[in-house]
Amino acid sequence: LLGLDVDPLELPKTEARMRRLGFDPAVFVARRSNFAGLPAALAAEGLAGADCLLADLGVSSMQLDMPDRGFSFKTQGPLDMRMNPNRGQPASAWLRALEPAALAALLVENGDEPHAGILAEALAGRTLEQTSDLARAVRSALAHLRTEEQEQSVRRVFQALRVAVNEELTALDILLRHLPQCLN
């Protein structure tokens, strides 16, 4: 059993849980990588391919429950959202660097956000350092909408940024392209 996880904070916890369940190193190997790294991980273990693949997409509750990771607007924390805090830029830097047109495209592509244009104009280029700052800015930009609609947009904006910051769709695309060669 070969387990891949890009999150350097969660990987050791997962490995420890698997060991407690009786999966010794000869049975279970944990590697820090995203989906795109599957071919390299298989090669490093001397495996020609996998018999089965389970890909867990998205963020985990463990990540959401840690305010300092910046994945959730429900608790105050830095606007980070990186699965691997040692790689790439936090979401706050992405927002500061993006032009409105690029942010609007990102909100549509990664979050199916119907108010992408309005939100992009309100958010692009801004300095928003905390999760609560971003949530408040989204609600403010959509003040003309009902509270339920505002909250849906807050969720979609957080999702869209997380997907972009972690290049999740790129990693998934690479996995899907390599999948035929990775399966026995």
Residue whose C-alpha is closest to residue 35's, from 179, 143, 180 = 179
Digit-coded pLDDT (tens) for 170-180: 999 999 999 99
Total-model pTM = 0.89
CB atoms within 10 A of CB 4: 21
Residue 125: φ, ψ to 5°: 80, 0
Quote the radius of gyration of the chain (alpha carbons, Å): 19
Measured over the CA atoms of residue 57, residue 3, residue 35 and residue 9, the dihedral's sign is positive
Residues contacting 146, CB < 8 A, separation 6+: none
Digit-coded pLDDT (tens) for 130-152: 999 999 999 999 999 999 999 99
Query: How far from 162 is each of 37, 166, 168, CA to CA, in Å?
Result: 19, 6, 8
**What's the CA gap between 72 and 80, in Å, rounded?**
10
57 — pLDDT class (breaks 50, 70, 90)? confident
58 pLDDT above the threshold of 90: no
102 — pLDDT class (breaks 50, 70, 90)? very high
Q: For residue 5, what are its two tokens? A: 């996880």
Calculate the CA 77 to chain-centre distance.
16
66 — pLDDT class (breaks 50, 70, 90)? confident
167 — pLDDT class (breaks 50, 70, 90)? very high
